[in-house]
Amino acid sequence: MNKIFEVPLYPYRRHADQDALSPAHHKVAVIGAGPVGLAAAVDLAQQGVEVVVLDENDKVSFGSRAICFAKRTLEIADRLGLGAPLVDKGVRWSIGKVFFDERKVYDFNLLPEEGHKRPAFINLQQYYIEEYLVKRAREIEAGGAQIALRGGNKVAGITDHGDHVALSIDTPEGQYEITADYVIACDGAASPVRSMLGLDFVGRVFEDNFLIADVIMEADFPTERWFWFDPPFNKGQSALLHKQPDGVWRIDLQLGWDIDKEQEKKPENVTPRLKAMLGDDVEFSLEWVSIYTFQCRRMEKFRHNRVIFAGDSAHQVSPFGARGANSGLQDTDNLAWKLKLVLDGLAPDALLDSYDAERVFGADENILNSSRSTDFITPKSEISRVFRDAVLDLSEHHAFARPLVNSGRLSMPCTYDGSPLNTPDALPLGPARTRPGSPCPDAALGNRFLLDGLGDRFTLLTINTDAPDSLTESGITVTRLALSDQDDVTGALTARYLGDAPAAVYLIRPDQHVAARFRAYDDTAIRAAIRCATGQDIQA
Amino acid sequence: MTADLILTPNMDRPDDIYAGLLATHEGLTKDASDALNARLILILMNHIGQHDVLAQALQAAKSPEKG
């Protein structure tokens, strides 16, 4: 059977750039065609920015890799035009069970909040997301967008000349050069671009190894997340069982530090471990096995003049909490509209520094959360194991201990408190969850959803109050979305955007984060907020 | 306003409370006692509940000579 990750999707083809007398110039070059690089390229291209994607391979990634995609990612995918296929293919789950030693200590239901178009999480192999992104790239290319995927193109050299970047690219037919206004490096945790530029990547290495296996089986395990602390089949360690589409199950087994990775990866060593976990009578086959050691670290800065890092190349976290790919997509969500405005001459180059400020803040939040999960799952001292076990013992009988059990704090979008793009909150009675810097929570409006009405442009959301249908400030056009109590059939809009205020005006960024909010439309204040949100006032 | 950690006598029957603590540990191995202490600390932390007070308590336990 031909698996999708064995099919070349963007095989090497000779391009006219390779025969050009002087290097061809591109607006943006994205290095790396993983989920983050592809999302960046699709986002830019569908906003009218010319982009070329370079990757030394020509296929989606091998094995499931990232499997848990959070609501915010699905909302970003909606904006990119691929939310529906992801959700249709993905497995939804909301029940989690926690086991300690031989017994189940408790279960939980994520009980997703009502009034959102997208579920809290889906499980889906990373290769499907990449496949859908490649399809989407082809689709918008056919519609006239300038987006090129170049497989078999390995970036071998990079030089930032101040006002442009030069790239040397190795291909099966030799080397060629291109130039670009900006480069987005999405080339993963081992980022060759980062190494070529001699940039730092500091943080904490966790001394542990995890075996991950994708197992195909027809088993009647329910669609739930099962997490074991110190199970009988993996004494002193942890284990995770999670369902993916196509009858594929993801199993993570903690192995400890002092192991022989090559030996442990062999099927004759993996199979007995899985039999001990699943039972002797369960038939299964191994699709993919990998062993990983993880680190929690980030670059000091994600922006280096015209070379901008996004995803794992910029920051790495432990896998607990699904904060890797999800945060990478929040990076590109944050970056694409800013780069578009800068390239169009509508915002100063300094707007890109706010990408650095906001996403470094997000990365620190993710690193903090995933480090804490790791410290709980893998206690680093005798006393921390004593407390960990005490929490688990108590959690079986007492509800108070359950919030302390930490098998991963699942990815939530970051609120950019303190961002230079925020205007101070001018809606004192408004809910805290939609204060400036917040990602807009969705709200059901009869048979439609709020986020579908926001799109990828600046929006002026007005609730129960009047405002112009559109306005233009410093070349930036803002379109009004007018809503009122009559649209709020479920009460979600009031709860999430009004609180105790009778009316509100929100200035919402293209990445659907709140830039400013007011009690009513005030032309001077709104124009100042637009300038602030587009970096017009930042001193370069 | 943040609450202050109480560091003046506050137990209604101090001798009985202390004897109860020792009696609870009686006959336990070191490991079992350590586990009991950990559970007890977590139960009491939940009862107190306030981050500020607990932060002061952690500090007072770490450096009893200060304050």
Q: Cβ neighbours of residue A239 under 8 Å, at least 6 residues apart?
A: A227, A228, A231, A233, A251, A252, A253, A254, A277
Amino acid at position A515, single letter: A
The verdict on residue B49 lying in a domain is yes
| Complete domains list, chain A, with CATH | 3-90+117-201+299-365 (3.50.50.60), 432-533 (3.40.30.120)
Average pLDDT over residues A226-237: 93
The verdict on residue B59 lying in a domain is yes
Chain B residue numbers with beta carbons less than 8 Å from the beta carbon of A400 are: 43, 46
Chain A residue numbers with beta carbons less than 8 Å from the beta carbon of B34 are: 383, 386
What distance in Å separates residue B36's CA from the closest CA in chain A?
A: 8
In contact, A69 and A90? CB cutoff 8 Å: yes
Q: Which of A118-127, A231-240, A333-342 has the highest mean pLDDT?
A: A333-342
pLDDT of res. A2: 53
Dihedrals phi, psi of A169, to nearest 5 degrees: -125, 125
User: Residue A1: is its pLDDT beyond 50?
Assistant: no
Amino acid at position A14, single letter: R
Q: What is the DSSP string of A80-145?
A: HT-HHHHHHHSEE--EEEEEETTEEEEEEE--PPSS-SS-SEEE--HHHHHHHHHHHHHHHHHTT-
The verdict on residue B16 lying in a domain is no
In contact, A37 and A86? CB cutoff 8 Å: no
What distance in Å separates residue A430's CA from the closest CA in chain B?
A: 24
Question: A35-46 vs A325-343: helix axis angle to the nearest 10?
Answer: 30
Placement of tokens 């009316």 in the chain: A503
pLDDT digits (tens, 9 = 90+) for A392-446: 999 999 999 999 999 988 888 999 999 999 999 999 999 999 999 999 999 999 8
- B3 band by pLDDT with thresholds 50, 70 and 90: confident
Whether residues A390 and B46 touch (CB distance < 8 A) is answered with no
The mean predicted confidence, pLDDT, of chain A is 94
Write out the H or E segment, with its range, that includes residue A396: helix A382-397
Rg of chain B (C-alpha set): 14
Whether residues B38 and A386 touch (CB distance < 8 A) is answered with yes
What distance in Å separates residue B2's CA from the closest CA in chain A?
A: 22
Amino acid at position A145, single letter: A
The verdict on residue B7 lying in a domain is no
For residue A173 the two structure tokens come to 């037919």
User: Residue A159: is its pLDDT beyond 90?
Assistant: yes
For A389, the closest of B35, B43, B46 (CB atoms) is B35
The verdict on residue B36 lying in a domain is yes
User: Residue B66: is its pLDDT beyond 90?
Assistant: no
Closest-CA residue of chain B to A395: B39
* Stronger pLDDT, A378 or A429, i.e. the higher one: A429
The whole-angstrom separation of Cα A153 and Cα A31 is: 9
Low-confidence winner among A307-311, A352-356, A377-381 (lowest mean pLDDT): A377-381
- Beta A24-31 vs A284-292: how paired, if at all? unpaired
pLDDT digits (tens, 9 = 90+) for A245-257: 999 999 999 998 8
Whether residues A390 and B42 touch (CB distance < 8 A) is answered with yes
The residue among A105, A382, A387 with the most chain B CBs within 10 A of its CB, best to mutate, is: A387
Chain B residue numbers with beta carbons less than 8 Å from the beta carbon of A383 are: 34
Placement of tokens 């230079």 in the chain: A420
State the ipTM, two decimals: 0.96
* Stronger pLDDT, A95 or A141, i.e. the higher one: A141
The residue among B30, B31, B33, B34 with the most chain A CBs within 10 A of its CB, best to mutate, is: B34
pLDDT of res. A66: 87
The verdict on residue B45 lying in a domain is yes
pLDDT digits (tens, 9 = 90+) for A316-332: 988 888 888 999 999 99
- A470 band by pLDDT with thresholds 50, 70 and 90: very high
The verdict on residue B6 lying in a domain is no
pLDDT digits (tens, 9 = 90+) for A383-405: 999 999 999 999 999 999 999 99
The whole-angstrom separation of Cα A293 and Cα A190 is: 13
Chain B residue numbers with beta carbons less than 8 Å from the beta carbon of A391 are: 42
Average pLDDT over residues A365-384: 92
Placement of tokens 């204060």 in the chain: A435
Chain A residue numbers with beta carbons less than 8 Å from the beta carbon of B35 are: 386, 389-390, 393
User: Residue B67: is its pLDDT beyond 70?
Assistant: no
pLDDT of res. A317: 87
In contact, A391 and A341? CB cutoff 8 Å: no
Average pLDDT over residues A483-495: 95
What distance in Å separates residue B35's CA from the closest CA in chain A?
A: 6
What distance in Å separates residue A390's CA from the closest CA in chain B?
A: 5
CA distances from A121 to A73, A118, A148, A406, A445 (A): 9, 8, 31, 18, 22
What distance in Å separates residue A267's CA from the closest CA in chain B?
A: 38
Chain B residue numbers with beta carbons less than 8 Å from the beta carbon of A387 are: 38, 41-42
In contact, A351 and A534? CB cutoff 8 Å: yes
For B34, the closest of A386, A391, A401 (CB atoms) is A386
- B6 band by pLDDT with thresholds 50, 70 and 90: very high
User: Residue A354: is its pLDDT beyond 90?
Assistant: yes
B38–chain A Cβ distance below 8 A for any pair: yes
Closest-CA residue of chain B to A389: B35
In contact, A55 and A37? CB cutoff 8 Å: yes
pLDDT digits (tens, 9 = 90+) for B12-65: 999 999 999 999 999 999 999 999 999 999 999 999 999 999 999 999 999 988
User: Residue A379: is its pLDDT beyond 80?
Assistant: yes
Burial (CB count <10 Å: 0-12, 13-18, 19+), residue A524:
exposed
- Chain A, residues 370-399, CB within 8 A of chain B, namely 383, 386-387, 389-391, 393-394, 398
Residue A148 pairs in a beta bridge with A52
What distance in Å separates residue B46's CA from the closest CA in chain A?
A: 7
The whole-angstrom separation of Cα A482 and Cα A493 is: 12
A101–chain B Cβ distance below 8 A for any pair: no
Domain that residue B39 falls in: 28-66
The whole-angstrom separation of Cα A223 and Cα A249 is: 10
Average pLDDT over residues A33-46: 98
Chain B residue numbers with beta carbons less than 8 Å from the beta carbon of A376 are: none
pLDDT of res. A539: 61
Chain A residue numbers with beta carbons less than 8 Å from the beta carbon of B42 are: 387, 390-391, 394, 401, 404
In contact, A192 and A307? CB cutoff 8 Å: no
B11–chain A Cβ distance below 8 A for any pair: no
In contact, A433 and A495? CB cutoff 8 Å: no
CB count within 10 Å of CB B31 equals 10
What's the total number of domains in chain B? 1
CA distances from A498 to A148, A272, A416, A435 (A): 44, 57, 20, 11
Whether residues A394 and B34 touch (CB distance < 8 A) is answered with no
